[in-house]
Structure 1
Amino acid sequence: MSAFKARPPVGIDPTGVSEEGAAVYELIRDDIISGRLEANSRLVVAELSERHQAPANAVREALQLLRSQGFVLIVHNKSARVRPIDQDFVRDTYEIGVLIEPSMVRWFVGMATSVDIAALERIQDQIEANNFSDQVLHGELDTQFHNVMYERHYNHLAAELWWKHREVLRAVARRYQYTLVRQAQVMREHRELIRLVRIGDADKAASLIAAHVDGAGRHVLEQMRASRAARAG
């Protein structure tokens, strides 16, 4: 498995916590998404500290970050509990991308250089070479593909919001495999987006990215429904 990690937009701290806090955050987040920590279960700092062999302060940092991303609910300003990772949560998360990304892509088309286009093509070549065989690597490359378009955006708040919700959706999506239909859509839409950027068609590029992000979110929802139906059956 590749050690490649997508980087956040320039000037954005993706976590805002210490190195220890970031490490514990990933462990607890994975426990929540995998179901090892069940929905609505209470999160006790001392128990999590022992579970992950981490300092209490790092656990507290992790819980605050998880709260900001919607994975953890703080009840009555005291008790932390696991938020159910349900279809409403996924829908609310990806719809933010549908709203934000078209505007950011439209801006990118107006300032993209040949170097930017070459970067998109290089990353897409890597995506196609991987061909979904390593799903974690695909997620990193796909995120970096989008980040080429947003990393220099003048509105850092918008870029930070995009990154935050992108990371949430990507973490949830790791539980599910891409269907062959979705794989083909991703490849086709990325290549078409590069073409539209090259010819400077901002309106069509914005429309395409909206459909692309919506398709990604709907695919996760479909996989969640299928998984739930399989468990019920």
Structure 2
Amino acid sequence: MTMFKARPPAGIDPTGVSEEGAAVYDLIRDDIISGRLEANDRLIVGELAKRHGYSGNPVREALQLLRAQGFVIMVHNKSARVRPIDQEFVRDIYEIGVLTEPALTRWFVGMATDDDIAELERLQEAMEANNFADLILHSELDTRFHTLMYERHYNRLAAEIWWKHREVLRAVTRRFQFTLARRAQVMRDHRELIQLIKEGEADKAAALVAAHVEGSGRHILEQMRAASVARAS
């Protein structure tokens, strides 16, 4: 059972929608991330409104926000469907992360407080205690770990792009298991990153995060390719 649900950086998500629209957005996004709604499933306003107990307007608001985040596509600007997340899309997302996350990390190292470091250590201890037994819990803890580093950055657009892409990748990773090698690498990277932050080594921390993000992206692509081969055989 998860301890908490990771939340986006303040002021980022969801934005520009009513309170009801935000609530429906959370429900539909969770359905997509969990797999209850699958790629290319039609998203019919009336059915979603009935399913979640809201009127049509909040559902329309939620679908527009999910469209902006890359979870939903509109066909002929009319019919909404769950977006298929293919290998090219995942590659593009993680390559953007390799470019942006080191810059966010470098800034964080320069302003991290003792309380920030203590919270990173607490989250890392929780991840190690869980040891990937509960993959959803790991995902929430890992997201909170990185959100703590990026949420106060002055460039809100960069933080917003990171969050949107992070959520898409989280939706993909829930379909697969981490390899033992990747699990070990994630833990090593986090521990080393915390130490570099303590030492104020901004450039080294940024380089480590770049490698960490690329490693995560490549691992996801390998899992997707393997699943594609298995389906074809």
TM-score by length of 1: 0.89
Paired letter, 1:172: V
Partner in structure 2 of residue 220 of structure 1: 220
Distance 1:59 1:10 in 2: 23
After superposition, give the CA deviation of every residue in 1:59-79 in whole Å (9 maximum; x if it has no partner).
212211221111222233223
With over 3 angstroms needed to count, the CA separation of the structure-2 counterparts of 1:51 and 1:181, relative to structure 1, is same
Give 1:120 shift: 1.2
Residue pair 1:44, 1:80 contacting (<8 A) in 2 also: yes
1:27 positional shift:
4.6
Alignment of 1:193-208 (within 5 A): 193-208=193-208
Report the CA distance shift for 1:228/1:89 in structure 2 as closer, same or farther (over 3 A): same
Count, aligned residues? 233
In structure 2, relative to structure 1, the CA distance for the partners of 1:11 and 1:82 (3 Å cut) is closer
Structure 1 spans left out of the alignment, 5+ residues: none
Structure 1 pair 132–84 and aligned structure 2 pair: CA distance change class (3 A): same
Query: What is the root-mean-square deviation of aligned Cα atoms in Å?
Result: 2.2
Tell whether the 8 Å contact from 2:127 to 2:142 is kept in structure 1 after alignment. yes
Q: Which amino acid aligns with 1:202?
A: A
Normalising by structure 2, we get a TM-score of: 0.89
Relative to structure 1, the CA distance from residue 172 to residue 155 in structure 2 (aligned partners, 3 Å threshold; closer, same or farther) is: same
Residues 9 and 150 of structure 2 are in contact (CA less than 8 Å); yes or no, is this contact kept in structure 1? yes
Structure 1 residue 46, shift from structure 2 partner: 2.2
Q: Is the 8 A contact 1:43 1:82 kept in 2?
A: yes
For residues 9 and 57 of structure 1, do their structure 2 counterparts lie closer, same or farther at Cα, with a shift above 3 Å needed? same
Tell which deviates more after alignment, 30-39 or 3-12: 30-39
Cα deviation digits, residues 13-52 of structure 1 (max 9, x gap):
3455345434543554455566665544543322333444
Residue 93 of structure 1 aligns with an amino acid whose one-letter code is: I
Measured at CA, do residues 26 and 94 of structure 1 come closer, stay the same or move farther in structure 2, by a change above 3 Å?
A: farther
Segments of 5+ residues of structure 2 without an aligned counterpart are none
Deviation at 1:220, TM superposition (A): 1.4
AA matched with 2:74: I
**Partner residue of 1:140?**
140
Contact 2:97 2:213 in 1 (8 A): yes
> Percent of counterpart pairs with the same letter?
75
